[in-house]
Structure 1
Amino acid sequence: MSQPKRNNEGFLENAWEWTPETASEIAREDDIDLENNHWEIISFLRGFYREHEMSPPSNRLFVKAVKEHLGEDKGNSIYLMRLFPGTPAKTACRIAGLPRPTNCL
């Protein structure tokens, strides 16, 4: 099976072609082994995208949205940075097959 087409930053061109296998492959490129905590955030992001038809537009809003849905333990920058190093919103959205957040560097 061929992998979905990606842009030069590694984001899927079509979020609806995403599969869990695609997520695992993208995560491996970032040296991330996906565990239950990762999948919880990925699932949240996929639901957010279905509901709003966009990725959380910035890291700050990503953290806030996670906090509202999953609680303070998971909705904080340190927790999310441990799971998705670098810019958590950008890394997590790429793995979740979503478009690049608009305000992430």
Structure 2
Amino acid sequence: MPVTTIDSRPVHVDQEGFLTEPDEWDEDLATALAAQIGITLGDDHWKAIRFLRNDFAARGETPTLRRVTVAGGIPTKELFALFPQKPAKKLAYVAGLPKPRGCV
């Protein structure tokens, strides 16, 4: 997998820029990743990010938007406000996880 530099540190990414090594992620990197896509993280963003990371750790795959809404208790409309246009994809990117299945 390719290696790129984000926030002055090397990270492994796939061809779309998603981290391939979730253990390389931390909150500082999340802030840098969010800034790259024009998002400033607030408390509601962190709630979604933490749900995604915890669910990924438990299940071994990135949750879909539907799972974040149902199991995470975050309404779809809110996710679109937090991560405009492609919330599942952007949320996974900032959380340092693979793109969810079904995302194009």
For the criterion TM > 0.5, the same-fold answer is yes
Q: What is the total number of aligned residue pairs between the two structures?
A: 97
Partner SS, residue 86 of structure 1: coil
TM-score normalised by L of structure 1: 0.83
| Aligned counterpart, 1:27 | 34
Deviations 1:6-28 (A, max 9, x none): 22312001111111111111100
| Structure with more relative contact order (C-alpha pairs < 8 Å, separation 6 or more) | 1
> Which residue number in structure 2 is paired with residue 87 of structure 1?
86
Q: Which residue of the partner structure matches residue 69 of structure 2? A: 66
Measured in 2, the distance between the counterparts of 1:23 and 1:42 equals: 9
| Structure with greater proportional strand content | 2
Cα distance in 1, alignment partners of residues 52 and 93 from structure 2: 10
Matched, 1:4 2:7: no
Structure 1 unmatched ranges of 5 or more:
none
In structure 2, what is the Cα distance between the partners aligned to 1:104 and 1:88?
10
Q: 1:100 to 1:69 in 2, by over 3 A?
A: closer
For the Cα contact (< 8 Å) 2:62–2:99, is it kept in 1? yes
Does 1:52 find its partner at 2:55?
no
Q: Flag the structure with higher helix content.
A: 1
Q: Percent identical across equivalent pairs?
A: 31
Whether the aligned pair in 2 keeps the contact of 1:55 and 1:99 (CA below 8 Å) is yes
Runs of 4+ in 1 over 4 A off after TM superposition: none
Q: Distance in 2 between matches of 1:91 and 1:44?
A: 14
Q: Could you tell me which amino acid in structure 2 is paired with residue 81 of structure 1?
A: F
Instruction: Provide TM-score, normalisation by structure 2.
Output: 0.83
- Match in the other structure for 1:16: 23
